[in-house]
Structure 1
Amino acid sequence: MIQLFGCPLSMGANDDGLKTSLKYLQENYGLKMNVLDEIITDETHQHNLKNLNSIVKTCDAIAQYSYHEILQKNDFPLFIGGDHAAAMGTVSAAAVHYGEIGLIWVDAHTDINTDQTTVTGNIHGMPVAALLGMGEKSLTDFLNDEPKIKAGNIVYIGLRDVDPPEAEFLKELNIKHFSYQDVKEKGLDNCLKECIDYLSHLKHVHVSFDIDSVNPLYLPGVSVPVKDGFTPHQANQILSELAINLPVSSMDIVEFNTVHDKDDVTAKFTVQLINDMKILLEKKYG
């Protein structure tokens, strides 16, 4: 069974516009899901790890819920965010439950900064590093203290905004990635085939989709827009082809920000994408 759940995590992006986004989809579009509260707690106010304690508590709650209430029941977790820091919880749950997993990160950003390389201090720019076991220890230890992902099991698609230290991490760790420029030059179909072939040896794959992978001219309702990017149709194609052709066992759709939306175009896309994925996954897994 596909279990839809979410959390309006906003502290990783430091953007209050994310706080009401899930409620907006529920009230205006009838989206039904279990919603976990963002947990606010005392902070030490570290400039390079903004809202650390609250994010750790919130992501731990996400990990615990996904692991105990969904994965342990042999269901499929489809998570809706909230900012991308939440993936530290969702991916950790999948990795602890399944063991070795692949991770496909569909995003304009690499999100592989650490507390030592970050410019903004916003933790939604750090989840992939944390899942690799890099950086601040409290961000790497959800459910257990082991790294959750191997660098060789990660694929990025759609990158358009990569910090210099992040580019070094990609090179040093030999992480497979397709910038949006690569997609334009090679063609999306070819990039998806490479991605699928690269991870086809794995039994379980987590797909984490950030709405800012789409061109903000089409979908402005995101926290950190970057010019250019996929069309909404391409975004749907990416998730559909990955879900059909890989053993996708868990998925995130994150960073819908209702405050920055215009004429509800991003809200409508998000709801449609969630419903399309739910139908496709139910058809595949029952």
Structure 2
Amino acid sequence: MKKQPGRPISIIGVPLDLGAGRSGAGIGPNAIRYAGVVERLEQLGCFVMDEGDLTVKGSNVTSTKQPNTKLKHLDEIVKVNEELSTKIGEAMAAGHFPLILGGDHSIAIGTLAGVRKSGGQYGLIWFDAHTDVNTGETTPTGNIHGMSLAVALGYGDPRLTSIGGGTAFIKPEHTVIVGARSIDPGERKFLKKLGVRVFTIRDVERLGIAKVMERALKIAARGTDGIHLSLDLDGLDPHDAPGVGTPVPGGLSLRESLLAMELISEAGVAVSAEFVEVNPTLDLRNKTARAAVDLIGALFGERII
């Protein structure tokens, strides 16, 4: 294994599944820990501090929409993401690499708000079967995990876009989506309007993951102070990651995804990362959590030889 020196890693668990359409992702952080993420990183020579989990109140199945909004569980999602943005801002100010374990993808709102608090301009690589750029006007479900990238770009409910101070949003020209294969009609219009670069799974098949990552890194890193990696495990094919709430057939293989992480690692531009949507209630012998640990290992320098 290749040693990966550098900043201390602060692991922050966010057991939130209120942004998703079904419960279960809230126990994702502990599933990833159980799969050995701390031990894997320590074997690579990393100094790891597990900060534990944020507190999440409420149940995915007991409450739905807030008054006067289509968005489900808005109050608690705002509260958790505000706390998360503060934790990440503190970690980065201390010179640490924040590694966030989800939880559903609505936590990216707080993650990216916290990264922005550190100052500078950052790029974003978003691995996902979905593009998550719905807003209250376009959402077919009201689930906030399908809106998180739109919020990070500055669009959506003001209570969400104001998290972390509501300034210095991620710029569309520094944003890249990789692996998308399920995009709502309103999202297509949004992405075209903003000019966000989307490498669909067809692009991966046509170009190969190495070429896609070369282009993605060039877009996200050009003129920025580093990149944030937001990886939804449903970006992988359900064969390799069955334990996700919204699986979509025909995704990235685990080996393709590992190569993508290796190329980000070799570029040396990642300043923070999150791995989300592991749902152990839908998994097979913790297979998806183990895939997440493999991907994290590759991101931090693990190689075959």
- Under a length normalisation based on structure 1, what TM-score does the superposition of the two structures give? 0.91
Instruction: List runs of 5+ in structure 1 lacking aligned partners.
Output: 281-286
Query: Pairwise mapping of residues 27-176 of structure 1 onto structure 2 (< 5 A)?
Result: 28-32=34-38, 33=50, 34-40=52-58, 44=66, 48-68=70-90, 70-176=91-197
Give the match's secondary structure for 1:222.
coil
Q: Following the alignment from structure 1 to structure 2, what is the Cα–Cα distance between the partners of residues 8 and 216?
A: 22
CA–CA distance in structure 2, aligned partners of residues 91 and 229 of structure 1: 25
Shift of 1:278: 4.0
Q: Percent identity?
A: 32
Structure 1 Cα separation of the partners of residues 263 and 97 of structure 2:
17
Whole-angstrom distance in 1 between the partners of 2:35 and 2:174: 36
Shift in Å, 1:38: 1.6
- Equivalent in 207, 215, 232 of residue 194 of structure 1: 215
What amino acid maps onto 2:160 in structure 1?
Answer: L
Report how far residue 197 of structure 1 moved: 1.9
- Shift in Å, 1:46: 5.7
Specify the SS of the correspondent of 1:19. helix
Distance 1:147 1:136 in 2: 17
Q: What corresponds to 1:239 in structure 2? A: 261
What per-residue deviation string (whole Å, max 9, x for no partner) do you get for residues 200-253 of structure 1?
Answer: 322211110110000002211001100111111111111221132151111111
Kept in 1, the 8 Å contact 2:31–2:286? The answer is no
Deviation at 1:54, TM superposition (A): 0.6
The answer to whether the Cα contact below 8 Å between 2:110 and 2:163 also exists between their aligned partners in 1 is yes
Give the letter aligned to residue 6 of structure 1: G
Bigger drift between 262-271 and 247-256 goes to: 262-271
Given that residues 2 and 278 in structure 1 are in contact (C-alpha distance below 8 angstroms), is that contact kept between their aligned partners in structure 2?
no
Tell me the distance in 2 between the aligned counterparts of 1:192 and 1:276. Answer: 14
- For structure 2, list consecutive stretches of 5 or more residues without a partner in the other structure: 1-7, 39-49
Q: CA deviation at 1:14?
A: 3.4
How many residue pairs match? The answer is 278
CA contact (8 A) 2:132 2:150 kept: yes
2:23 pairs with 1:2: no
Partner Cα distance (2:109, 2:24) in 1: 21
Which amino acid in the other structure matches residue 36 of structure 1?
L
CA RMSD, Structure 1 to Structure 2 (Å): 1.9
CA contact (8 A) 2:28 2:277 kept: no
Q: 1:22: Cα distance to partner?
A: 2.2
Greater relative contact order structure (CA < 8 Å, 6+ sep): 2
